[in-house]
A and B are shown apart, each in its own frame.
Chain A
Amino acid sequence: MCPPPRTPTEQEIHGRHGRPITDQDAHEINRVEELSYDLKIHEVMTAVLKTVTPEMPLSKVLDILRLNRISGLPVVENDSLVGVVSLEDIVRALQKNELSVHTSQYMTREVVTVASYDSIVEALRTFTEKQLGRLPVVDENHKLVGMITKGDITRGILVALQKDYKEEEVRRYRASHLFEDIISERTTLVLRYTIKAGDFTQGGKASSHIKRALLRLGADPLITRRCCIAVYEAEMNLIIHTTNGGILKLEVEPHRITMSATDKGPGISDTEQVFQPGYSTATEQVREMGFGAGMGLVNMKRCVDEIELDSTVGMGTKLIMRIFIPNHTVGVSRDGQNDEPSTNY
Chain B
Amino acid sequence: MHLKEIIELVDGTTLNPEVDLNIKICGGCGADLMSDVLASSQPKAVLLTGLTNPQVVRTAQIAEFRAIILVRGKQPQAETLAIATQENMPLIASPFGMFELCGRLHRAGLPSFESNVSST
Contact = CB atoms under 8 A, between A and B. Distances in A.
Interface of A: 22-24, 26-27, 200-201, 203-205, 207-208, 211, 221, 225, 228-229, 232-233, 236, 289-291, 293-296, 298-299, 302, 337, 339, 341-342, 344-345
A339 B36 CA distance: 23
B92 interface: no
B55 A207 contact: no
Interface string B60-98: 011110000000000000010000000100000000000
A94 B36 CA distance: 82
A299 B62 contact: no
A232 B54 CA distance: 13
B35 A293 contact: yes
Contact of B42 (A290, A295, A299, A345): A345
B26 A341 contact: yes
B59 A204 contact: yes
Contact of A295 (B39, B51, B63, B111): B39
Contacts of A233: 35, 38
Given A204-B61, A339-B26, A341-B42, A27 B20 contact: yes
14 contacts: A22-B22, A24-B22, A207-B62, A208-B58, A208-B87, A232-B59, A233-B38, A289-B55, A293-B33, A295-B38, A341-B42, A341-B43, A341-B111, A345-B42
B62 to A, nearest CB: 5
Contacts of A294: 35
B20 to A, nearest CB: 5
A232 B62 contact: yes
B51 A289 contact: yes
Given A208-B87, A290-B33, 20 more contacts: A23-B20, A23-B21, A200-B53, A200-B55, A204-B57, A204-B61, A207-B58, A225-B63, A232-B59, A233-B35, A290-B51, A290-B53, A290-B55, A290-B56, A291-B34, A291-B55, A293-B36, A295-B39, A341-B111, A344-B115
